[in-house]
Amino acid sequence: MKFDGILLVSDMDGTLLTEEKTISKENLEAIRYFRENGGKFTVASGRVYQSLESYFDELTPDIPVISHNGGVIKNPATNEFLYAKRLFGNYKEVVSDIHKKYPWLGIEAFIPEEILFFTDNPYVRKHINDEKIFPDNKIDWHSLEEETPDWCKVLMAAETHEIDMLEKDIPPLYPQYSFVRSEDHYFELLPHGVHKGSALTELLNILKISPDKCYAVGDNMNDKEMLAVAGCGIAVANANQGLKELADVVLPVTCEEHVIKAVVEMLDKGTI
């Protein structure tokens, strides 16, 4: 079959999902056609796994998916965690120090099973709404000082110009961790060396697929390493400019114009 041995990996928000956080009929039909002709399709997202599950009725994943910005790989077929990286060292003290310096930050921590909410602001509320896994906004709030399970990553949420400042000032202070800007309003702390690219490398090993048979598509700088690992890294038309400069292919379409349909059509025609 024409797509035998090919893995197509898509980011979710800003790529597979529309601005309304839905998957278009055109994208779903393209995924079905790609699979029927031998291809393997999965997603790699900054979202927690539980948030991805809300799309599984439509996506019907048949191979593992990447969540937590590369911190977790889970197989929906077996409900088994295949890979889960957690933070180490004095990261809770680091987060407390950051919060003392920037008290306006909204802060969330992610463990494989759930999100822990610590400090509130409008962009944490936006994230809660986007994730769509908290009925009636019933949130349990935690203190940064309390005992909690080890975290996979931390999300800090604020105004765009405030995240600009964090992106510039914070990483040099804590080189033992990785930092990534996942969206305009979100800045994340992860275990050193953990990102979507490290998870994709692990997934390729699990599936026994060569990187040169992998196509990855995204829109933001948290997709950078994933696009670098893939044999062909693809950016959407309105992607972060830095990502477009690193991509092998820049699509002529945005998430509102059926990104996966465009990629599958290009694969079908042999133009990528």
Structure confidence by residue, pLDDT tens digits, 183-208: 899 999 999 999 999 999 999 999 99
pLDDT at 97: 97
Burial (Cβ within 10 Å: 0-12, 13-18, ≥19) of residue 126 = middle
**pLDDT at position 52 over 70:** yes
Please give the DSSP secondary-structure letter assigned to residue 18: -
**pLDDT at position 217 over 90:** yes
**pLDDT at position 21 over 80:** yes
- How do residues 116-147 score in pLDDT, each as one tens digit? 999 999 999 999 888 777 665 678 899 999 99
**pLDDT at position 100 over 70:** yes
Task: Tell me the average pLDDT of the chain.
Answer: 95
Q: Alpha-carbon torsion 159, 115, 89, 223, what sign?
A: negative
Domains of the chain, with CATH numbers?
Answer: 7-84+194-269 (3.40.50.1000), 91-191 (3.30.1240.10)
pLDDT at 50: 87
Strands of the sheet containing 249-250, edge to edge, are 40-43, 7-10, 214-218, 232-235, 249-250
pLDDT tier for residue 169 given thresholds of 50, 70 and 90? very high
pLDDT at 13: 95
pLDDT at 132: 72
pLDDT tier for residue 8 given thresholds of 50, 70 and 90? very high
Cα–Cα distance for residue pair 97/109, rounded to 1 Å: 15
**pTM (2 d.p.):** 0.88
Q: Alpha-carbon torsion 204, 221, 219, 263, what sign?
A: negative
Task: Work out the average pLDDT over 96-102.
Answer: 97
Task: Work out the average pLDDT over 63-80.
Answer: 95
Q: Residue 74 in contact with residue 49, Cβ under 8 Å?
A: yes
Q: List, as one string, the DSSP characters of 224-265.
A: HHHHHHSSEEEE-TTS-HHHHHH-SEE-S--GGG-HHHHHHH
pLDDT at 136: 56
Cα–Cα distance for residue pair 63/74, rounded to 1 Å: 9
Cα–Cα distance for residue pair 205/196, rounded to 1 Å: 14
**pLDDT at position 242 over 90:** yes
Q: Residue 201 in contact with residue 194, Cβ under 8 Å?
A: no
